[in-house]
Structure 1
Amino acid sequence: MMPLSPAVLSNIAGYMSISLWIVVYSPQIWENYQLQSGEGLSVPFIVLWLLGDITNLFGGVLAKLLPTMIILAVYYTICDIILLFQVYYYRRHPSPAARTHLSSDDETTPLLPEPRQPKPLLPPALEYPLLLAFVLLSGAGAWYLSDQGDEISIPEKPEPAVELEWKSQSLGWASALLYLGSRVPQIIHNYKTRCAGLSLAMFFFAISGNMTYVLSILLTSLNPRYILANLPWLAGSGLTVFLDLFVLAQFAAFSFQDRRKAREGKVFAEEEATAAADEGT
């Protein structure tokens, strides 16, 4: 069997990235609906992400990307608007299970129900890899079923034409800065909510989508001029991965602390019950 050329691998990675980004918003939208709350999300995070997607959309139009890429950019924008709508709707119409607390600025704000996160069907350590494998295989299947599958027999493709155009470059850098900046308020917000109401799967898929996207660019060509032309998108996707990994670290740290606190509380309750029983005898 002839090994796949870098050009073909680039196309496969590109299709995988698209499949990941199609589903990346779904876990958070569904979790907000289940919890009837949007408190897990930072509003500046969504707004900056939305502005990044809008900037990316205009950049794609100027760069004359494929219609499918333009449609995807419109789809991302719509998903951002849905998330923003959910946050404001559920904050104005909190579910009966939601409770209130006095925040540091003395304003009463709705909180999530005591983290009764929807119970996953499988343990996260098994569920997320299986979901990722399914989505990646779907992307590879979409590539195979497309006319790109005919490229398997082509050993190499010529170097892509490179055009450095300041308008699309400017929008690309603006989009990259917005994507990076969006993670900062969410990371700060997570320290207040301890990631309650935030979908781990959304960041899991975002990391995978950005990594496959970067891979699709690098596999196309390592020509310095080509890399320079795509640098805004490489920086936006590549650097965002590190911030999203920090969010995953927050999930892990808060989960570990909560489990330890629960164990300590259980031990304390048992000691109290034993002491009370001893006093009663």
Structure 2
Amino acid sequence: MLVPLSPAVLSNIAGYMSIATWIVVYSPQIWENYQLQSGEGLSVTFIVLWLLGDITNLVGGVMAKLLPTMIILAVYYTVCDLILLFQVYYYRRKPSSSAQAIGQHINPLDESTPLLPEPKQPKPLLPPKFEYPIMLLFVLLSGLGAWYITDQDTISIPEKPEPSIELEWKSQLLGWMSAVLYLGSRIPQIVHNYKTRCAGLSLAMFFFAISGNITYVLSIFFTSMNAKYILANLPWLAGSGLTVFLDLFVLAQFAIFSLQDRRKEKPFTSDEDVEEEEEA
């Protein structure tokens, strides 16, 4: 049966896709910490600010009567933040060889610093250029399937009227606080990445975070483009939308450090190779 893609249907689809991505977003990092027996790839300030952002986001969302998906996810985020925080402190009390390699990998470009063995990373099933798109597609299709199963009874119902809009200063204040905390949390992690060169940090976590934020923003826009409705949701739109750009910066760090490492490992076989490398 073909479903008419009305704004309400598109909003629900985007909302379920956002839920699907955010349900799995923490899993790669939690699993990587467990595999490495280390939490050195994460900035503690990053986790704490993210946790505070999730808490204020939860309280503000309840007060503003936002989408139920946002409220449910905020509770789940808080639990996952606490798990990550526990892992960091637990593994730092019992550092493994991998944790020491990450923690002491401060400036690998400084020749005065002894080179340390890189932490053993779980070998991916597929190359990253295939693995992450396939993982994302699977998660998004899972969200689509969840929507199709749970919202079948509402497909044939006529369009709902515009959602009620309430601008209440307390919920707006909490919403903006959460947005600032989300944005601020990325800064210490970005700085931390320059010390660890992203060792011990899960690329998939940021990959899914970007997808979850984009689909969440779309779910709000599809619900209503009424100016007052957008204004009421502006703190959450800003928190999700602007965070995407900082997460893209983290992905760029992964790419740059990986490229530098490959160039560093590439042996020079002749004087011509040396000259070509210097010209580049």
For the aligned pair, the TM-score class normalised by the smaller chain equals 0.7 to 0.9
Q: 1:91 to 1:161 in 2, by over 3 A?
A: same
1:138 match: 142
Deviation at 1:75, TM superposition (A): 1.6
RMSD: 2.2
Given that 1:4 and 1:152 are in contact with CA atoms closer than 8 Å, whether structure 2 keeps it comes out as no
- Equivalent residue letter for 1:41: L
Deviations 1:46-85 (A, max 9, x none): 0000000111111123234576654432221111011111
Alpha-carbon distance between aligned partners in 2 of 1:50 and 1:173, rounded to the nearest angstrom: 15
Given that 1:17 and 1:210 are in contact with CA atoms closer than 8 Å, whether structure 2 keeps it comes out as yes
1:219 match: 222
2:274 match: none
Identity %: 80
- Counterparts of 1:78-227 in structure 2, within 5 Å, are 78-99=79-100, 101=104, 114-146=118-150, 148-154=151-157, 156-227=159-230
TM-score by length of 1: 0.87
1:277 match: none
Given that 1:38 and 1:87 are in contact with CA atoms closer than 8 Å, whether structure 2 keeps it comes out as yes
Q: Does 1:14 align with 2:5?
A: no
Deviation at 1:112, TM superposition (A): 8.9
Given that 1:176 and 1:233 are in contact with CA atoms closer than 8 Å, whether structure 2 keeps it comes out as yes
How many residues align? The count is: 261
Q: 1:243 to 1:69 in 2, by over 3 A?
A: closer
1:63 match: 64
Alpha-carbon distance between aligned partners in 1 of 2:190 and 2:22, rounded to the nearest angstrom: 21
Given that 1:99 and 1:113 are in contact with CA atoms closer than 8 Å, whether structure 2 keeps it comes out as no
Deviations 1:136-176 (A, max 9, x none): 11111111111x22333346332111111111111100000
Alpha-carbon distance between aligned partners in 1 of 2:71 and 2:18, rounded to the nearest angstrom: 15
Given that 2:106 and 2:196 are in contact with CA atoms closer than 8 Å, whether structure 1 keeps it comes out as no
Unaligned runs of 5+ in 1: 105-110, 272-281
- Equivalent residue letter for 1:135: V
Alpha-carbon distance between aligned partners in 2 of 1:97 and 1:194, rounded to the nearest angstrom: 14
Q: 1:232 to 1:215 in 2, by over 3 A?
A: same
TM-score by length of 2: 0.87
Unaligned runs of 5+ in 2: 108-114, 272-280
- Counterparts of 1:17-32 in structure 2, within 5 Å, are 17-32=18-33
Q: Does 1:237 align with 2:244?
A: no
Deviation at 1:102, TM superposition (A): 9.2
Higher-Rg member (1/2): 1
